[in-house]
Amino acid sequence: MRILVTGARGKVGAATIDRLLSAGHEVTAVDRLPPVYERAGPVRYVQADLTDAGHAAAVLPGHDGVVHTAAIPSPVKNPPHEIFANNLMATFHTLEAAERSGVGRFVHLSSETVPGFCYPKRYFHARYAPIDEGHPIAPQDTYALTKWFGEQLMDAAVARSDITAVSIRPTWVQWEGNIERNVGPIVRARGADESASFWSYVVVDDLAELIASAVTGDVIGHEVLYAAAADTANGLPLHDLVRRHFGDEVELRPVPRPDASGISCAKAEKLFGWTPQRSWRDLLDAEGRLLPEARDRLAGGATAVQRGLAAIS
């Protein structure tokens, strides 16, 4: 397939490009960051700011599918109006251009934050564990709102046209380059720290595999699904962690294993046969430090993210 990946210079975009190339797809990479004006690599890279309708209209034609990862990926490091304008309009213009260009499949990178309890101004928590796609949605922060509105844009597009869509809600995305900083302290806290998304995380290689299935697999209309690793980020039993930090206020639902993730990926498995294969234990030791083999991959530029970035440079 001819697949366009937006946000190609980011960790999810780059790992996705690596996965799609290894599956034999023809990839176009798009990001608002400048290109390198040298001999082209295996992937065509086009600089485009997707908040500009003209940029989106210029890059979309000629593709069978689009993976839209371009966004500001957090509510806390940019002014809210910038997050809102960037994320929502980039999704709007990319989707409009895809629809007009006859692109068949739109994979929209949404977020675990959509239900609202990750960054609320007025505190609330998830109602049950593990969280799944049926959880009520009530976002207060701008980032989660843009992702939720993005999901609604997908609903509208599949209703009015032949395009089909998948919104993937990844939890916290990890790779060799950030997991020691992000998950290391959770491992060392040994359950003492609270977590709004119930100690969930996902390794980017697994997420890229789900994205590849979502862009190529059979879909009717618009599907929304979570992506998380199979286990908790500290290896402790989910039900014990939730009881310890949330008392009886959170309903405990059955889990496939005691240390199951706080986010269920049963829907992704049902739709695409996807199950996460990677755990933090494949990258970190019991003290949360990067394992030597992961450190070597990073030093050698051999991670999925680095291979994807190398392909577009």
For ligand NAD, the closer CB: 67 or 239: 67
Q: How far is the CB of 236 from ligand NAD (least distance, A)?
A: 21
User: Which of 70/165 has CB closer to ligand NAD?
Assistant: 70
Residue with smaller CB distance to ligand NAD, 9 or 278: 9
Size of the site for ligand NAD (CB under 6 A): 26
Tell me if 30 sits within 8 A of 24, measured CB to CB: no
Interaction of residue 71 with ligand NAD, rule CB under 6 A: yes
Beta carbons of 104 and 135 less than 8 angstroms apart: no
Which amino acid, 115?
A: P
Biggest alpha carbon–alpha carbon distance for the chain:
60
**Residue from 3, 12, 263, 309 in contact with ligand NAD (CB under 6 A):** 12
Pick the closer one to ligand NAD by CB: 203 or 241.
Answer: 203
DSSP assignment, residue 131? B
Task: Name which position in 170, 262, 276, 288 contacts ligand NAD (CB under 6 A).
Answer: 170
Smallest distance from ligand NAD to CB 93, Å: 9
CA 80 – CA 94 distance, rounded (Å): 21
Closest distance of CB 170 from ligand NAD, Å: 4
Of 71 and 212, the one with the shorter C-beta distance to ligand NAD is 71
The answer to whether the Cα torsion of 149, 152, 157, 160 is positive or negative is: negative
Segments in the chain forming alpha helices (H): 11-22, 53-59, 80-100, 142-160, 179-182, 184-189, 204-216, 238-246, 266-272, 292-299, 304-312
Cα separation, 124 vs 121, whole angstroms: 9
The enclosing H or E element of 164 equals: strand 164-170
Whether the Cβ atoms of residue 288 and residue 184 lie closer than 8 Å to each other = yes
Report the DSSP beta bridge partners of residue 15: none
Contacting range for ligand NAD; rule: CB under 6 A; set: 2-10, 128-136, 159-167, 241-249: 2-10
Contact letters for ligand NAD, residues 86-125 (x by CB under 6 A):
x---x------------------x-xx-------------
Q: Is 10 in the site for ligand NAD (CB under 6 A)?
A: yes
Q: Does 199 bind ligand NAD (CB under 6 A)?
A: no
Contact predicate 59/4, CB 8 Å: yes
User: Would you give the binding string for ligand NAD spanning residues 20-59, x where CB under 6 A is met?
Assistant: -----------xxx---------------xxx--------
Q: Which stretch binds ligand NAD (CB under 6 A): 11-19, 243-251, 263-271, 288-296?
A: 11-19
In whole angstroms, give the CA distance from residue 24 to residue 203. 22
Which tokens go with 209? 């595999």
**Cβ distance to ligand NAD smaller for residue 239 or 280:** 280
Task: Please identify, using beta-carbon distances, which residue of 33 and 40 lies nearer to ligand NAD.
Answer: 33
Give dist(CA 283, CA 305) in Å, integer.
15
Binding site for ligand NAD (CB under 6 A): 6-7, 9-13, 31-33, 49-51, 69-73, 86, 90, 109, 111-112, 170, 172-173
